[in-house]
Chain A
């Protein structure tokens, strides 16, 4: 596809369960970001993958959150033992070249996570 895709679009889970959110970036994009957005709020940075370098995990709110990027392409964000405060829209974005001054980001439509 031409854009960033995310799945599922909606996820409802029970407190304490684990969830996996998937992001398919634009082909050839070397950088990939995960953000969290609560209702009516701005973007909260979670994690940043740049090429083959170690990811910047400085935004992950707790050790229940982890992310992988396999083969420099698809990424999975995993939340273990979900809590109600994890409810939010999780957005993924990719950019072509993290070393560029432009670094324009292309966002997916997001996954809306609801923890009951």
Chain B
């Protein structure tokens, strides 16, 4: 059974600080996706990483896919209250259903 473990489960930090959240698996995925969910809404895709070692940047967010395509990280620089939300990673391979981690709940204090 493929599993994705996310850490930490909860993170509460001050505005302006940096943070990293992790997504780990013992399985190889063709791609790794990161979603953010805000209260009362469905998750929204932030980024997809496909190549081992790939790094993608989205403003203050940096996403990295592990060389072996089993893990990923999300680094946020100078966090802002608008970054608050549930961050979900998901692993995908062709023909298989997407597997979601349980998420990291991030709270940025103003």
Binds B, one of A11-19, A68-76, A77-85, A97-105: A97-105
Rank and list the top 7 A-B pairs by shortest CB-CB distance, nearest first: A107-B42, A42-B102, A101-B30, A42-B103, A103-B92, A48-B97, A43-B100
- Tell me whether B93 and A104 are in contact (CB under 8 A): no
Bits for A39-69, please: 1 = Cβ < 8 Å to B, else 0: 0111101001010000010000000000000
Looking at the assembled complex, report how far the CB atom of A48 sits from the nearest CB atom of chain B, in whole angstroms: 4
Please measure, in the bound complex, the distance between the C-alpha atom of A31 and the C-alpha atom of B41, giving whole angstroms. 20
- Tell me whether B48 and A42 are in contact (CB under 8 A): no
- Tell me whether B102 and A101 are in contact (CB under 8 A): no
- Tell me whether A33 and B97 are in contact (CB under 8 A): yes
Sample of 12 A–B contacts (CB below 8 Å): A33-B98, A35-B100, A40-B105, A42-B101, A43-B103, A50-B97, A101-B30, A102-B31, A103-B98, A104-B48, A105-B90, A110-B42
Is the interface on chain A under 10, 10 to 19, 20 to 34, or 35 or more residues?
A: 20 to 34
- Tell me whether A99 and B43 are in contact (CB under 8 A): no
Chain B residues within 8 Å of A, Cβ to Cβ: 30-31, 33, 35, 40-45, 48, 50, 86, 88, 90, 92-95, 97-103, 105
Looking at the assembled complex, report how far the CB atom of A69 sits from the nearest CB atom of chain B, in whole angstroms: 14
Q: Which residues of A contact B103 (CB under 8 A)?
A: 41-43
Question: Which has the most chain B C-beta neighbours within 10 Å: A100, A102, A103?
Answer: A103
- Tell me whether A45 and B42 are in contact (CB under 8 A): no
A42-B101, A91-B42, A108-B42 known; A101 vs B95 contact (CB < 8 Å): no
Of the candidates A91, A100, A105, A106, which one forms a contact with B94 in the assembled complex, judged by CB atoms under 8 Å apart? Answer: A100
Looking at the assembled complex, report how far the CB atom of B96 sits from the nearest CB atom of chain A, in whole angstroms: 8
Q: Which residues of A contact B105 (CB under 8 A)?
A: 40
Closest to A105 in B: B98
Closest to B91 in A: A103
Closest to A101 in B: B30
Please measure, in the bound complex, the distance between the C-alpha atom of A91 and the C-alpha atom of B103, giving whole angstroms. 16
Looking at the assembled complex, report how far the CB atom of B4 sits from the nearest CB atom of chain A, in whole angstroms: 10
Q: Which residues of B contact A93 (CB under 8 A)?
A: 42
Looking at the assembled complex, report how far the CB atom of B95 sits from the nearest CB atom of chain A, in whole angstroms: 6
